[in-house]
Amino acid sequence: MVEAYKRVKANKGSAGVDEQTLEMFEQNLKGNLYKLWNRMSSGSYFPQAVKRVEIPEADGGIRPLGIPTVSDRIAQMAVKLQIEGELEQHFHPDSYGYRPNKSAHQAVAQVKARCWKRAWVLDMDIKGFFDAIDHALLMRAVEKHVKEDWQRLYIKRWLRASVQHKDGHIEAREQGTPQGGVISPLLANLFLHYAFDHWVERHWKGVQFERYADDIVCHCKTEQEAIALQSTLNKRFSECGLTLHPEKTKIVYCKSWINKAEYERVSFDFLGL
């Protein structure tokens, strides 16, 4: 619990719905950590609502974030520290987002290297991914890899935690995991491991890819292969309750990058780099 607190403190972050900041939590640090540990060990821990914050994006859209309370962030970190090692053993090497010793720059470097070998790229973005994750499908994956009953119990409670909007009204959540939660990126990677990574490896063995959370690049040998892959993945994601973003998903011919004028016409944006 102490290590979880240290990690949350290092990440900083604002207060949740209870308006308690990290500084306020630290005023009775030992007592607050003991209280949280006692509730979690007895099964009486229930997370508070997640505070919804909307962040403007460069394209004019809005990214909804869900900010748990400090106590809930520490509780999530405690579970994350215990299960991450097990999940990491199964994750695909070309999954780069929110993972130890992985980075966006590594993903971009791999994209550039592979673009010279395979001319066609399917550049994909999943629309509203974090808010669209199917709880039942995610929990099937959790139950496969997370062995402790109490860990599965609290993951389920975090998924079901309600959302408090800016105007104060509370909304129940039946799907999704809040982007902003400590354990959400790990759960998101687990979901897409089965929805995409593992599935593509089984059914499209010749296709190489890089994935950073819900930003995905697939390398294809021909335009026909890219078109067929996009059609197949549309169906696959639909089966998993997800939708490819119609404006941010496209097929690009990468070999044209050798010509600067052509590069400007067909280039694609991966992770803003």
pLDDT tens profile 82-133: 999 999 999 999 999 999 999 999 999 999 999 888 989 999 999 999 999 9
Cβ partners under 8 Å of residue 164, min gap 6: 17, 49, 50, 51, 52, 170, 171
Helix (H) or strand (E) holding 251: strand 250-253
> pLDDT by residue (tens digit) across 55-90?
887 776 788 899 999 999 999 999 999 999 999 999
Q: How far apart are CA 100 and CA 132, in angstroms?
A: 25
C-alpha 22/C-alpha 14 separation (Å) is 8
pLDDT in 10s for each residue of the chain, 273 residues: 999 999 999 999 999 999 999 999 999 999 999 999 999 999 999 999 999 998 887 776 788 899 999 999 999 999 999 999 999 999 999 999 999 999 999 999 999 999 888 989 999 999 999 999 999 999 999 999 999 999 999 999 999 999 999 888 999 999 999 999 999 999 999 999 999 999 999 998 889 999 999 999 999 999 999 999 999 999 999 999 999 999 899 999 986 544 444 443 345 566 655
Query: How far apart, in whole angstroms, are the C-alpha atoms of residue 115 and residue 221?
Result: 10
Structure tokens at 214: 């819900």
Distance between CA atoms of residues 129 and 179, nearest Å: 9
* Residue 47 near residue 183 (C-beta atoms within 8 A): no
CB 243 within 8 A of CB 125: no
Give the CA distances from residue 187 to residues 99, 115, 181, 205, in Å, rounded to whole numbers and listed in that order.
Answer: 12, 29, 10, 25
- Class of residue 102 by CB neighbours under 10 A (exposed 0-12, middle 13-18, buried 19+): middle
